[in-house]
Every structure is written in C-alpha cells, then in structure tokens.
A and B are shown apart, each in its own frame.
Chain A
Amino acid sequence: MAEARKPRSASGSLMTHVDLTRLPFVRSMLVARGPQLAVQLAAVAGLLLVIASGLLGTPVGSRNPATVLVWIAWWAALMIVAVPFFGRLWCGVCPLPLPGEWLQRGALLRPRGRGRGLGLPWPRRLRGLWVQNAAFVIVALFSLPVLTQPRLTALLLAGLVLVAIAVSLVFERRSFCRYLCPVGGFIGLYAQAAPLEVRVRDPRVCADHTTKTCYTGSADGYGCPWQVFPATLTSNVSCGVCLECLRTCPLDNVAIRLRPMGADLRPSAPVRIDEAFKSLVLIGSALVYAIVLLGPSSALRAAAAAVGSPSWLVYAAGFLLVTVVLVPGLFLAATSLGRSAARRRLSANEGLRRFAPALVPLGLAAWAAFSLGFVLTNVSYILPVLSDPIGLGWDLLGTTSMPWTPVGGTLASWALVAIVLAGLAWSSRHIRAVAENLTGGVRMAMPVWGFSFLVTAGLLWVFVA
C-alpha cells in the first residue's frame, strides 16, 4: 500500500504526497535496470531511425519521420503530457546522452570496472544555467529551418549526440545534460510544475550516512549522474529521474512520490538569477514562436527560414531583443513597480528572483498550448510517415495515402485558450502568494499580474484573433 502523508506546504496548505516506491511492484520495476534499459534502447532505435531517415529519406518535411516524429509526435508528447505530468521522466530515458554515458561507464547496466574518460569536473565558471540558456537561444534562432527540413533535424540530433559523447569522455557524469543540453534546461524549469518528484524520505538519515553512496556510487549503481546530493533536493530542476539514487541507497531512504502540481514553486524561496532568467527567456520564446509560426505574417516566417540572409539577421536581432531584453526588462519593470507601489524594501535582483518562478505555470501553459495547436493541425502526418518511414513507397500500415486532416476545428482554439487561461490563473495565484510573503499584498502583485496579462493577450491574439 502506498504511503500517504500530509505535510504542510510553504503556503500553509495541506498537501498529500503518495510514495510510489512503497508499492513493491513499482519499486522493483524502478530498481531493476532491465525495464529502463529496454525503454532506453527503444529510444536509441527511434533516434537512429530519425537520423537515418533525415539524412537519407525524402526532403519533404511532412513526409519524413525526422521532422514528423520529432517535431510533431515527440515534441507534443513532451510538452503536453510528459513535462506537465511526469516532469523530467523523459530525461531518464532520453537517447541523446546514452552513447556517451555507456562509453563513459564502459557498461550498459550496473557498474563494471572503472569506465573510460577523463572524469574532469565541469568548470566552476560554467556551472548554472547560463550556458544552457545560451544553447537554447542559439538553437531557437535556427528552429524554423530545423523544424521543417529533415536533414537539418537529423544533423542537429546527431550533433547533440556527438557533443554529448565528447563531453562524457572529458567531464564527469552527465555534465552534458546538467549544463549544456538546450532541451534539458527547458524541461527542468517546467518539471517544477509536475506532480512527481524524487526526494529523500528523511534528510537526517542521509546526514548520518557516512559513505553517501547515492553520490559516490556503489556496486548497485552509479553516483548521481546529475551531480546532485539527493538529500539537498528541493526542486525538480536538477534531478534527471535516472533512478540511480534509488538503487544505491542502502537505507531505503529515497522515494518517488506523487505530489500536488507545482509543489516546487515556493513563495518564500527565491531562485537563482540564471533560473529566473531562464523562466523569462522561455516565456518570451513561447510568445515569439507562437507569433512567428502560428501568426498571420508569412513575411516573418520567410525571414525566420532564410538563415544567413539580411531578413534573417533582422529576425534574429528581433528574437534576441524580445526574449533576452524586452521580456526580462518588462518583468523587471513590473516587479520594481510592485515594490514601489507596496513601499517595500527589496532589491531589484531579489524581486526578480522571487517573482520569476510564478511565471512557470503560464510559461508551461504557453508552450503546451502552442504545441497542441501545432499537433492538432499536423497529427495526421504521423500515420503516413510510419507506414513509409524512409520514403521508399512502402505502405506498411496501409496508411501511406491517408489525407491530411486537421483535428479539433474551432473547439481546438478554445482548448488552447483554456490551457493558457489555466496557466494564467495558476501563475496569478502564485504571484499573489509571493507578494503576500513579501508583505506587499495586492499592490505588489498587480504590476506582475499586468505583465502576465500582456503575455496572455499576445498568445490569445495569435491563437484566436
């Protein structure tokens, strides 16, 4: 029987956590390496198919598995289901770092010998999310050609695998995932909203445990690949749900729990400035993507696709201006206005770090809605592609000639609106909680609500105007 407990959250409300690892079957499935490896191998096979078909298959994006399976099927599943409900679970089976990790470990399963690679620590100066933020923005600048051209999708994925291998052979553990992966930072931020967490049951047990096998590793498993000491975990941002700590803890003190959504978003805890910045860059990116990809301007799309041309340079400058300067600047202005209105002594830096996590629900909703809009329109490309994976005229499933059929109609628009508004309501609640925690009340919250309203208005304009 799963153990349920009712601790109090930082906001004082009662929360219920359900310890899934108290269920013997679930625990045995998670501790055993076989099931995870099976999913990982399937993911690697999928990755190889995508890279091969991207390089060798048809250049028509809507007919090639590289673009259809990655940017329609996988991306939608990630943003609409995996991240909101399972957090970083995808990172535990993601195929991109696996070749590098297997080489580094010299093993597919449990520890065996010393492994390969230099095992250097990741440079102190490059820790944090800044490099990941930069990697995300750089990939985002080229996203339209990558989204639409199978060859570029394949090259991007192959390039990420090669970088991950190189990093794994030079640096320790999963430095690539923790500090470089452009998608990893994205997933980590929004995993805070998910109702799933890996945490220790009792930190005092860890404090008394001298060998700290969850971090150093043991014969049963590897020390935390994500370079996190599980006893200090307070959010999902840096935990890759790789399950190693579950295997290496000899005291049965690590749990995987269901929890209320957004339990990581504590109004009394400021985040690091790089994490705050990530939150703002991502919400700005969601807005720009929605405007460029779903908006009415074909000229904007043409500019985004024409990499290297003068119009693309203008687009790139605009993208950077909005995501790196305008959105963070507006948010900073909103939090500053709130501080002034409430007459509270608080630095601009702390205001930013306190309120930025409140945008996580709205940002997640923006990405989920954007992704849903895209997948509903293009979902009918998936079956034809699966039926003829490399464009050789096959009809494996009898669906090769299936016509394009958008799903949802006008209801789809309202579904997007509902998702964005749910995110807005959730963010508004958290904004109020932060403002109250800073004793600023509604006055302090109002400008930040105004900022959230502006972002929402932009999204709604794209979705239904």
Chain B
Amino acid sequence: MTRFNRLLPYVALTALAVVVVALVGLPSSSARSGGVARNVRVEASAYAFTPATIEVDPGDRVTIELASTDVVHGLHIEGYDVNLTADPGQPATVSFVADRPGTYRIRCSVPCGPLHPFMSGRLRVGPPSTFWRAMALALIAIAAGGMALWRKPASPGARLAPS
C-alpha cells in the first residue's frame, strides 16, 4: 500500500468533517428572519429559570427582564457579555443584540443555595446548529474509528469458527 493510499481515508474524513462543520445547521430559507426586538421576562426561583430556554433569531435585539421571586439571583449568558443581578421584587433588565448563532448556557451568577452550581438555562440563537454539527461529526467519528483507524491484525489471535 502506498503512503498516499494509507493517508487517503484520513484526508477524506478530515475534508468531510470540515464540510460538515461548515454546512450543517446553516439557517434554512424557512428560518425566521432576525432583526426584531424581543422582550423576554425570565423568572428565577428555586434554582430554576422560567422559561428555561430562550429562543431568538440571529440579529434580534433581545431585552431580558430578570425577576427573582425568592432570593438574589444572577443571570450570566456564556458566550455573550451579559450579566445582571436581581433582588427579590426588584427586576433587572439588560439588552443585547443576538448576533452569534448557536446555543449558549445561561447560569445563575450569584450563590443562591445548595443547588446554585446547577441552576442553568439556555439561550438559543437560530436553529440548534451546534448540536446537529456535533451529531454529524459523531457519525464521522464512528467511520474514522471503525474504518480508517482500524487495521487488520498482522498476526491474528485465536478466532471463533463461523457457524
């Protein structure tokens, strides 16, 4: 086997991975157009954000009103420079442009009790492209592991007889 032939599966899989990451999850023509103002009221209480998932379109101007109903809670969106804190009965507001498609985790940024580290929600900007890209890459990973990286043993060990 030539060196080129040996490298071919890896090159092909790498190329496929690049194409998948680039293409899968691109907004379809039926996707809602962005650029509108969206006001979302998020209630924070007992280690939960309600709604747990905020869905907007790329380009939307998003205004989040955080209302805490038990203790002081914070709202931090990973990937966006968004941070706000709300005391009980005193809602806080922040606005930003959702200019980066993808799914971003929302976390409580103020220690609020035992389950505080797990108090989270999600901001989804556009379709869940990251997930579908990752799923496509998972198929490539199986192909890579099961086909490209596997090599027939040079000296096979004991084998079972076929039925």
Residues on A facing B (Cβ under 8 Å): 8, 10-13, 60-63, 144-145, 148-149, 268, 293-294, 296-299, 301-302, 305, 343-346, 374, 377-378, 404, 406, 408-410, 412-413, 417, 420-422, 424-433, 436-439, 442, 445, 449, 452-453, 456-457, 460-461, 463-465
Which residues on the B side are within 8 Å of A422 (C-beta)?
Answer: 141
How would residues 13 to 54 of chain B score, 1 for a CB under 8 Å from any chain A CB and 0 otherwise? 000000000000000000000000000000000111100110
Select B158's contact among A268, A404, A412, beta carbons within 8 Å. A268
- Taking a contact as CB atoms under 8 Å apart, the answer to whether B145 and A428 are in contact is yes
- Taking a contact as CB atoms under 8 Å apart, the answer to whether A424 and B52 are in contact is no
- Taking a contact as CB atoms under 8 Å apart, the answer to whether B111 and A421 are in contact is no
Select A424's contact among B48, B105, B138, B158, beta carbons within 8 Å. B138
Q: List the A residue with the shortest CB-CB distance to B139.
A: A453
A-B CB contact pairs (8 Å), 16 listed: A8-B154, A10-B153, A144-B118, A268-B158, A302-B47, A305-B115, A343-B162, A345-B160, A409-B78, A420-B138, A424-B145, A427-B145, A428-B141, A437-B156, A460-B135, A461-B131
- Taking a contact as CB atoms under 8 Å apart, the answer to whether B159 and A439 are in contact is yes
In this complex, how many residues of chain B approach chain A with their Cβ under 8 Å: the count is 57
Interface of A is mostly: helix
Whether a CB of chain A sits under 8 angstroms from the CB of B61 is no
A465 and B128 contact, Cβ closer than 8 Å, known pairs A302-B115, A456-B138? yes
A406 and B155 contact, Cβ closer than 8 Å, known pairs A149-B114, A302-B115? no
What separation, in Å, do the CA atoms of A452 and B143 have in the docked complex?
12
How would residues 137 to 163 of chain B score, 1 for a CB under 8 Å from any chain A CB and 0 otherwise? 111011111110111111111111111
| B110-124 contacts to A (CB < 8 Å) | 110-111, 114-122
- Taking a contact as CB atoms under 8 Å apart, the answer to whether A428 and B116 are in contact is no
What separation, in Å, do the CA atoms of A148 and B114 have in the docked complex?
5
Whether a CB of chain A sits under 8 angstroms from the CB of B59 is no
Q: List the A residue with the shortest CB-CB distance to B109.
A: A404
A296 and B142 contact, Cβ closer than 8 Å, known pairs A437-B156, A464-B103? no
What separation, in Å, do the CA atoms of A205 and B149 have in the docked complex?
37
- Taking a contact as CB atoms under 8 Å apart, the answer to whether B145 and A426 are in contact is yes
Which residues on the B side are within 8 Å of A463 (C-beta)?
Answer: 134
Which residues on the B side are within 8 Å of A11 (C-beta)?
Answer: 151, 153
- Taking a contact as CB atoms under 8 Å apart, the answer to whether A453 and B138 are in contact is yes
- Taking a contact as CB atoms under 8 Å apart, the answer to whether A424 and B142 are in contact is yes
Whether a CB of chain A sits under 8 angstroms from the CB of B130 is yes
A298 and B142 contact, Cβ closer than 8 Å, known pairs A8-B155, A63-B111, A406-B107? no
Whether a CB of chain A sits under 8 angstroms from the CB of B102 is yes
- Closest chain-A Cβ to B154's Cβ sits at a distance in Å of 4
Q: List the A residue with the shortest CB-CB distance to B150.
A: A432
- Closest chain-B Cβ to A303's Cβ sits at a distance in Å of 11
Q: List the A residue with the shortest CB-CB distance to B102.
A: A410
